[in-house]
C-alpha cells in the first residue's frame, strides 16, 4: 500500500492525480518547475519540491532531477500523467532499479507499443487488422512499397506522436523530399529517425478504445471515444460514444483491443487507437501506454474512475469489476480549451488570465489548473482547460456544451472557445458525419471567407 505518491507532471493532469490520491487517502508530493511555482497543483499537493528551471529539458524531462526529488521526499510511487516522462523507458527502468513504483505499464509494454512499427507487427501477429503498409525504414524499399501500395501514402515516425514526423505523400516526386523531411523531424523530436509507411485512407474516423489491465492478467475495455475532430493530427474535441459506431462495430473494437492487451499482458490504463474507414472497417493505428487527455468522457459514460484505477492496479490490486459490469450510459463531449488564437493560425497565446468565469450546472465538468490572475507560461503545451459536458443522449450533451461555452469567460489570452462555438453549431458536427479531415477543410473554407472565429 502506497503512503505517498510523487506527481511528475504539471497542469490539469497533476491536479487530477492529486484529487484521486486524496480520495484514496494518499499523501502527494509534486515536482514543479520554477515557472509553475504558483500553480494550483503546487498549492494543493501535500508537499512540493522544485526540480528545475522553466525549460522542460531542465525540469519535467530531467530524469536525474525527478528521481532525486522522489528519493529526497521518500515517495513510494510516481505518477507521470501524460506527456513528459509518461512513456520514457529509461525513466521507468531507473524507477524500477530504485524501488520506486511507476504508476503505469511495464517496460516491456512500453517497448512493444512505443515503437509504432513494432506495434503494427505485434498487432498483425495477433490477428488485429492494421492499415496496409510497410514497417522498415529504408528509403529504397520504402519507395518500392509505396508504389505497390499506391499513392497517396502516409510516412510516419516509428517513435512518433502528435503528428510530428508524419506526412501525406501524393506521388513519387514528393516521396524523396518528404521521406527525408520526416526523418529529420523524427530525429529532432524523438531522437531516432526510423520511419514506416501506411496506405492513406480517405475520410476515416479516429476511434479509440480505453482499457485497464491489472497485474493478475485481467483486462476490461470501455466504450469507444471518437477523436476525429482534429487539426494537424492534434485532437480538439472528443466524444463517447461515437455517433458513427454501432453495436456490431463496437463489439469488434472491444474484441481487438481486449485481445491485443491480453496478448502483451498489459498492466495499467492504456488506449488502443483505430482508424475506421467509411465502410466501417477498423484498422489498428497505435497504442498509448498512459492515461489520455480525453479520459474524462470515458469516466462520465462508464462511471469508472480511471486515474484511481491506475493507482490501485499499481499497488497490486485487482480491477474489482468484470467486463459485464462496464456499462455505457448517456453521452459525453470534451472540448480542449487551448491558449491559442484560431484567427491567427492557432498561434500560442500565453499571458495573464485577467478574468475567469467558469461554467457549471447539470452535466458540466471542468478540469483545469488555471485561476484568475494566473500567468500561463510559454514553455509548455497550450492546454489550459478541459470542458466536458454529459447528457442522457448526444443532443443533450451538445446543448449543455453549447450552454457552457456561452457561459465561460477567459480574458487576457486568446483561446479556442470561439472555434468550438462554431463547430457545435455546424450541421456536419450535429449530424455526426464528420471525419478526421473535416475540421481542416472547414477551417480552410472559413479562412477563404475571412470569418475565422475571434475572441
CA dihedral over 144, 147, 152, 153, signed as positive or negative:
negative
Q: Which of 163, 179, 199 is the last residue of a domain?
A: 199
What is the spatial distance between Cα 293 and Cα 238, in angstroms, rounded to a whole number?
10
What is the spatial distance between Cα 308 and Cα 314, in angstroms, rounded to a whole number?
10
pLDDT above 90: residue 367: yes
Residue with cell string 460514444:
241
- Please calculate the CA angle 215-219-220 and round it to the nearest 5 degrees: 140
How many residues does the structure list for the chain? 455
The three cell numbers of residue 409 are 469567460
Instruction: Tell me phi and psi for residue 176, to 5 degrees.
Output: -60, -50
pTM metric for this prediction: 0.92
In this prediction, residue 192 carries a pLDDT of 85
Q: How confident is the model at residue 173 (pLDDT cuts 50, 70, 90)?
A: very high
In this prediction, residue 447 carries a pLDDT of 86
Within-domain flag for 334: yes
pLDDT, average across residues 8-28: 98
In this prediction, residue 288 carries a pLDDT of 96
Q: Are 296 and 336 in contact (CB under 8 A)?
A: no
The three cell numbers of residue 451 are 470569418
The three cell numbers of residue 220 are 476490461
pLDDT above 90: residue 455: no
Q: Which residues pair with 231 in a beta bridge?
A: 234
Q: Are 387 and 405 in contact (CB under 8 A)?
A: yes
The three cell numbers of residue 159 are 517513435
What rounded mean pLDDT belongs to the chain? 95
pLDDT, average across residues 394-413: 98
**Interhelix angle 11-23/306-314, nearest 10 degrees:** 70
Query: Residues 178, 239: one domain?
Result: no
Q: Which ranges constitute the DSSP H helices of 24-164?
A: 40-44, 63-72, 89-97, 107-114, 116-125, 139-149
Q: Which of 199, 216, 234 is the last residue of a domain?
A: 199
pLDDT, average across residues 328-343: 97
Domain range for 173: 132-199
- Residue 253 CA: distances (Å) to CA of 291, 340, 382: 19, 34, 31
What is the spatial distance between Cα 452 and Cα 133, in angstroms, rounded to a whole number?
37
Quick: pLDDT tens for 97-131.
999 999 999 999 999 999 888 999 999 999 999 99
**Which is it for strands 77-79 and 101-102: parallel, antiparallel or unpaired?**
parallel
Query: Residues 176, 227: one domain?
Result: no
Q: Please tell me which residue, 453 or 205, carries the higher pLDDT value.
A: 205
In this prediction, residue 437 carries a pLDDT of 93
Query: Residues 371, 270: one domain?
Result: yes
Cβ count near 145 (within 10 Å): 19
- DSSP 8-state code for residue 437: T
Query: Residues 187, 291: one domain?
Result: no
- DSSP 8-state code for residue 330: S
Query: Residues 150, 268: one domain?
Result: no
Q: How confident is the model at residue 8 (pLDDT cuts 50, 70, 90)?
A: very high
pLDDT above 80: residue 137: no
Query: Residues 99, 140: one domain?
Result: no
Q: How confident is the model at residue 452 (pLDDT cuts 50, 70, 90)?
A: confident
Q: Which ranges constitute the DSSP H helices of 62-138?
A: 63-72, 89-97, 107-114, 116-125
Query: Residues 359, 383: one domain?
Result: yes
pLDDT, average across residues 43-63: 98
Residues annotated as catalytic are: 290
What is the spatial distance between Cα 286 and Cα 123, in angstroms, rounded to a whole number?
9
- Residue 36's domain is classified under what CATH number? 3.40.50.20
Query: Residues 324, 385: one domain?
Result: yes
The three cell numbers of residue 358 are 467558469
Within-domain flag for 13: yes
Q: How many domains does the chain have?
A: 3
Q: Are 221 and 297 in contact (CB under 8 A)?
A: no
State what percent of residues in the chain have pLDDT above 90.
89
Strands (DSSP E) along 377-450, which ranges? 383-391, 409-411
Within-domain flag for 121: no
- Residue 439's domain is classified under what CATH number? 3.30.470.20
Q: Are 263 and 295 in contact (CB under 8 A)?
A: no
Query: Residues 182, 309: one domain?
Result: no
Q: Which of 199, 220, 246 is the last residue of a domain?
A: 199
In this prediction, residue 406 carries a pLDDT of 98
Closest to 421 in 3D by CA, of 445, 402, 446: 402
Query: Residues 249, 282: one domain?
Result: yes
Amino acid at each position: 500500500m502506497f503512503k505517498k505518491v510523487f506527481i511528475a507532471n504539471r497542469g490539469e493532469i497533476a491536479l487530477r492525480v492529486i484529487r484521486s490520491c486524496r480520495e484514496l487517502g494518499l499523501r502527494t508530493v509534486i515536482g514543479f518547475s520554477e515557472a509553475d511555482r504558483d500553480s494550483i497543483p503546487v498549492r494543493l499537493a501535500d508537499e512540493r519540491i522544485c526540480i528545475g528551471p522553466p525549460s522542460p529539458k531542465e525540469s519535467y524531462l530531467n530524469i536525474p532531477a525527478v528521481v532525486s526529488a522522489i528519493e529526497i521526499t521518500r515517495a513510494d510511487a510516481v505518477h507521470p500523467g501524460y506527456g513528459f516522462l509518461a512513456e520514457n523507458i529509461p525513466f521507468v527502468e531507473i524507477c524500477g532499479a530504485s524501488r520506486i513504483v511507476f504508476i503505469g505499464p511495464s517496460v516491456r509494454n512500453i517497448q512493444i507499443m512505443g515503437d509504432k512499427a513494432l506495434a503494427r507487427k505485434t498487432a498483425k501477429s495477433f490477428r488485429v487488422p492494421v492499415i496496409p503498409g510497410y514497417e522498415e525504414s529504408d528509403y529504397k524499399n520504402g519507395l518500392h512499397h509505396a508504389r505497390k501500395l499506391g499513392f497517396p501514402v502516409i510516412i510516419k515516425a516509428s517513435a512518433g506522436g502528435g503528428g510530428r514526423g508524419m506526412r501525406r505523400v501524393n506521388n513519387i516526386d514528393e516521396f524523396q523530399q518528404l521521406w527525408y523531411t520526416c526523418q529529420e523531424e523524427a530525429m529532432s523530436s524523438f531522437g531516432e529517425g526510423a520511419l514506416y509507411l501506411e496506405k492513406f485512407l480517405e475520410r476515416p474516423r479516429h476511434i479509440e478504445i480505453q482499457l485497464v489491465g491489472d497485474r493478475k492478467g485481467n483486462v476490461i475495455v470501455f466504450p469507444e471515444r471518437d477523436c476525429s475532430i482534429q487539426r494537424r493530427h492534434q485532437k480538439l474535441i472528443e466524444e463517447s460514444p461515437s455517433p458513427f459506431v454501432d453495436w456490431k462495430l463496437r463489439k469488434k473494437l472491444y474484441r481487438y483491443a481486449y485481445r491485443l492487451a491480453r496478448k502483451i499482458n498489459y498492466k495499467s490504463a492504456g488506449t488502443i487507437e483505430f482508424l475506421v474507414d467509411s465502410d466501417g472497417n477498423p484498422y489498428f493505428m497505435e497504442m498509448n501506454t498512459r492515461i489520455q487527455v480525453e479520459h474524462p468522457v470515458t469516466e462520465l459514460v462508464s462511471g469508472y474512475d480511471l486515474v484511481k484505477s491506475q493507482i490501485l492496479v499499481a499497488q497490486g490490486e485487482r480491477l474489482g469489476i468484470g467486463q459485464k459490469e462496464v456499462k455505457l450510459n448517456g453521452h459525453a463531449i470534451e472540448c480542449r480549451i487551448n491558449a491559442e488564437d484560431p484567427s491567427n493560425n492557432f498561434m500560442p497565446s500565453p499571458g495573464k488570465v485577467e478574468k475567469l468565469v467558469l461554467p457549471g450546472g447539470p452535466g458540466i465538468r471542468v478540469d483545469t489548473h488555471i485561476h484568475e490572475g494566473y500567468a500561463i507560461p510559454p514553455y509548455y503545451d497550450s492546454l489550459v482547460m478541459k470542458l466536458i459536458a454529459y447528457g442522457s443522449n448526444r443532443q443533450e450533451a451538445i446543448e449543455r456544451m453549447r450552454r457552457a461555452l456561452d457561459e465561460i469567460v477567459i480574458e487576457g489570452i486568446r483561446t479556442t472557445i470561439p472555434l468550438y462555438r462554431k463547430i457545435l453549431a455546424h450541421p456536419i458536427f450535429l449530424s455526426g458525419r464528420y471525419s478526421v479531415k473535416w475540421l481542416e477543410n472547414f477551417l480552410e473554407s472559413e479562412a477563404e471567407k475571412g470569418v475565422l472565429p475571434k475572441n
